[in-house]
A and B are shown apart, each in its own frame.
Chain A
Amino acid sequence: MLQQVLEGTETSSLVVIEDCVEHDGRPVFHCFCSELAKRCASVHLFHLEKPADCFLEGANVSKIHLHDGFSDPLLWEEQNRDSSEDRIDLTSAPDFLGHVKKLSVKTSPVAVVIDSLTPYLLHCPGYVICRALHRLLRARLDSDGVEIALVVAGFHGDLHDDSTAVALRHMATTWVQLQEGAESPTRSREGAESPTQDRACFHGTCEVLHRRKSGKVIRQDEEYHISAQWSLTSRVQKAPVRPAAQPDQESQVDPTANLTFNLRLTDTEKEARSRVVLPYMHHQRKKAPDKPAATPGGQIFYQPDDVDDFDEEDPDDDLDF
């Protein structure tokens, strides 16, 4: 699913990538940068935690517009900065759309990559970020001059409280939660095949929650692998076998296996058994063949009376007592 979202075969408008200290999400970001630069007409990169070079290796730099929130977050060097560069002022309210418009060229589709939302969230409450993101997403070409195809935002899950995460999750169409993957034999073998690239390889597991436009919700556990050329492949993790079910199956001892007497039936015996008319079936039998026989004996017409004593215990008269 992660790969499909990255390649655009699965459409999504807001992808939030949650990472944590143990598992850095920047390699995934790097993949999104280089892939979106191939796919979209322009990519706006908001980098607030790392210099832009971290994300530009191997990407088509000409299409990427940078919004710098890293080198001078408080605008101390306002007077001697290059006017062509766009600086982000963290102390004011976040305005993603305003920044995108500043460097906008009339092309579409436009993608926005934000690394990450955490510095913003330290300055203002979650709903302000949600509103700014929503405004970015609903920008239209005719009214705002720019239309955003995809927003990818990073989020350090271990730095914020649950309510912020839940609010962002409410907004996101795709939520990717990165986790450190357990070392598996397949992965160590891959590592052994390409030992020279080992330094540049990243892998891990992630939980993807994707909302389709139709309303269908897909939740998948996946493992991903990033090659040295910053191409990402992901595949669905095989569901771990439920530990409870396994011993249960084995411990099912067949008590009829080795008996000294016979409990099994052959096919002819089974057929004979099915022909036996059991007591509780006699109602049906009576209904079918007895009908013609009943006519010569005369018929009883009975009008129910108030004081009738019906047998409540056996209204069907099928119990033979």
Chain B
Amino acid sequence: MAASMGRGRGGGSTSFQKKARAKSLHIPGTRPSPQGNQLLVSTGVPSLDHIIGGGVVVGTVLLVEEDTFGNYARLLVKYFMAEGIMARHPLLLSSAELHPRQLLGDLPAPVSEDVGKTATHQGDVPSEKQVQKEAPMKIAWRYQNLPTEQPELGAFSQFGHYYDLSRTMSSEMTDSAPSRLFYLPDELPLEEQGAWTGSITNPAYVKLLQSIRDVVMEGQFDLTVPQPKDVSRTVLRIGLHCLGSPLWGEQDGGASHDASLPHFLHALRALLRTSLAACLVTVPTHLFQDAAFTRRLEKLCDSVVRLESFAGSEKEQNPAYRDYHGLLYVRQLSQANSLLSHVPDCSDFAFKLRRKKFAVEKLHLPPELQESQQREQDEPVAALKTSAASCFTSGKSKLDF
């Protein structure tokens, strides 16, 4: 991939020079990754950036496997687009369900003062903290001065912006970024979408791929074509919302899937490798009955993150998960230009949606505060064990310890 950066030379104290392109790309809204020197763009969610290795590598595809009702995946698309607007990146947004204009009209507003951002962060939960500080610890006093809050993942990076979900971005701001909107029913009328047979590639995907290629070519994001030196370069952000839903004509014929979507992803990845573009795709993989098809889609993208929402499921009631709204699984991370991908320091993540922001955290069990013999979160397990346990408790003897 051509988007990697040459590191600038040091103070000249040594004659050794790293064999790299001396010219470095300075593109607003990007930074080189500490590992592998890749050019990164932020997803708009700093904690997610931290997990996937600093951000989305330019030239790769980040696949988000949607939660059951798609709410949180849609939120990630909005963050990705909002970050693009803040960094003045051109946008390409496609959808078949909601009109992309509707999505763009509902972006989270940036927290205006970047200086005050740490203050507003800490200001979120001041009351609980102070309450806990008052009682001095009698036994484990060494923990007295430790922070009671889990620090937000990647909280100290100065990359990306913070957004307030309770307010929407002003329309002047959303209009300021050059954007190409792709709304499937407008681009390809229903009559032309027709009922196609399996041998033909899905016309909807063909059309979308053509549009992406056109934007890449016209906007001079293609790195294989030499560009005039005086043109300042920028990164194209592509958001594909809910790709592969029934509205895209994804065939749900039981065992066999149409090969159009894997073909599309393959072509998209090839196109992005040679261009200054980063892509976020959300796919409702929970609709696919065939697990192998999902695996195939995952393999055809660079980074894969799966969201699992607790909404409407039994986990909503599980006390172990009461602080969170869902789980985030990291399936695969980008290996562009390196042998090894970034390895996150733990594998269990959960996300929560507060009134103003969406954040990903390390999953941990809530502290045990009840004086019960049995921890609450053990109950589902305990229910299974009752048959085994009953032989101990069946005796009604008073001295049955």
Interface residues of A (CB under 8 A from B): 93, 124-128, 130-132, 134-135, 138, 161-164, 166-167, 170-171, 209, 211, 215-219, 242, 244-245, 247-248, 251-255, 257-258, 280-281, 283-284, 316
Prevailing SS type, chain B contact patch: loop
Using known A-B contacts A166-B289, A170-B245, A280-B139, determine if residue A211 contacts B195 with beta carbons closer than 8 Å. no
Q: Select which of A128, A164, A242, A284 is within 8 A of B195 by beta carbon.
A: A128
Chain A to chain B: the 3 pairs with minimum beta-carbon distance, closest first: A130-B246, A163-B252, A217-B311
Contacts A125-B251, A163-B253 aside, 10 further interface pairs with beta carbons under 8 A come to: A124-B195, A125-B253, A131-B193, A134-B96, A134-B97, A163-B252, A163-B288, A170-B70, A242-B383, A254-B398
The smallest C-beta distance from B373 to any residue of chain A, in angstroms, reads 8
Using known A-B contacts A125-B195, A164-B252, A283-B141, determine if residue A131 contacts B246 with beta carbons closer than 8 Å. yes
B382 and A248 form a contact (CB under 8 A): yes
List CB contacts (< 8 Å) of B221-238 with chain A. none
B247 and A134 form a contact (CB under 8 A): yes
A93 contacts which chain B residues (CB < 8 A)?
194-195
Within 8 Å of chain A (Cβ to Cβ): is B386?
yes
The smallest C-beta distance from B391 to any residue of chain A, in angstroms, reads 11
B311 and A216 form a contact (CB under 8 A): yes
B252 and A138 form a contact (CB under 8 A): no
The smallest C-beta distance from A170 to any residue of chain B, in angstroms, reads 6
Chain A residue with Cβ nearest B141: A284
- Cα distance A219–B253 in the bound complex, in angstroms: 28
Within 8 Å of chain A (Cβ to Cβ): is B100?
no
Using known A-B contacts A138-B185, A170-B284, determine if residue A253 contacts B139 with beta carbons closer than 8 Å. no
Within 8 Å of chain A (Cβ to Cβ): is B249?
yes
Contact mask B286-301 → A, CB, 8 Å, 1/0?
Answer: 1111000000000000
A132 contacts which chain B residues (CB < 8 A)?
190
Q: Select which of A171, A209, A245, A284 is within 8 A of B138 by beta carbon.
A: A284
Chain B residue with Cβ nearest A209: B312
B139 and A163 form a contact (CB under 8 A): no
- Cα distance A78–B288 in the bound complex, in angstroms: 40
Within 8 Å of chain A (Cβ to Cβ): is B399?
yes
A171 and B246 form a contact (CB under 8 A): yes
- Cα distance A221–B113 in the bound complex, in angstroms: 47
A126 and B69 form a contact (CB under 8 A): no
B247 and A131 form a contact (CB under 8 A): yes
A219 and B386 form a contact (CB under 8 A): no
- Cα distance A219–B246 in the bound complex, in angstroms: 23
B138 contacts which chain A residues (CB < 8 A)?
281, 284
Using known A-B contacts A170-B246, A247-B390, determine if residue A125 contacts B252 with beta carbons closer than 8 Å. yes
B252 and A127 form a contact (CB under 8 A): yes
Contact mask B248-277 → A, CB, 8 Å, 1/0?
Answer: 111111100000000000000000000000
- Cα distance A217–B70 in the bound complex, in angstroms: 11
Chain B residue with Cβ nearest A211: B69
- Cα distance A252–B185 in the bound complex, in angstroms: 63
The smallest C-beta distance from A282 to any residue of chain B, in angstroms, reads 12
Within 8 Å of chain A (Cβ to Cβ): is B210?
no
A253 and B400 form a contact (CB under 8 A): yes
Chain A residue with Cβ nearest B245: A170
A127 and B383 form a contact (CB under 8 A): no
B195 contacts which chain A residues (CB < 8 A)?
93, 124-125, 128
The smallest C-beta distance from A272 to any residue of chain B, in angstroms, reads 17
- Cα distance A125–B286 in the bound complex, in angstroms: 18
B393 and A253 form a contact (CB under 8 A): yes
B249 and A247 form a contact (CB under 8 A): no
- Pull 8 A–B residue pairs with CB atoms less than 8 Å apart, ordered by A: A127-B251, A134-B96, A138-B185, A161-B289, A163-B252, A163-B288, A167-B246, A253-B398
Chain B residue with Cβ nearest A135: B190
The smallest C-beta distance from A259 to any residue of chain B, in angstroms, reads 8
Within 8 Å of chain A (Cβ to Cβ): is B394?
yes
B71 and A251 form a contact (CB under 8 A): no
A162 and B253 form a contact (CB under 8 A): no
B396 contacts which chain A residues (CB < 8 A)?
253
Within 8 Å of chain A (Cβ to Cβ): is B143?
no
A138 contacts which chain B residues (CB < 8 A)?
185
A244 and B383 form a contact (CB under 8 A): yes
The smallest C-beta distance from A296 to any residue of chain B, in angstroms, reads 27
Q: Select which of A163, A247, A251 is within 8 A of B287 by beta carbon.
A: A163
B254 and A161 form a contact (CB under 8 A): yes
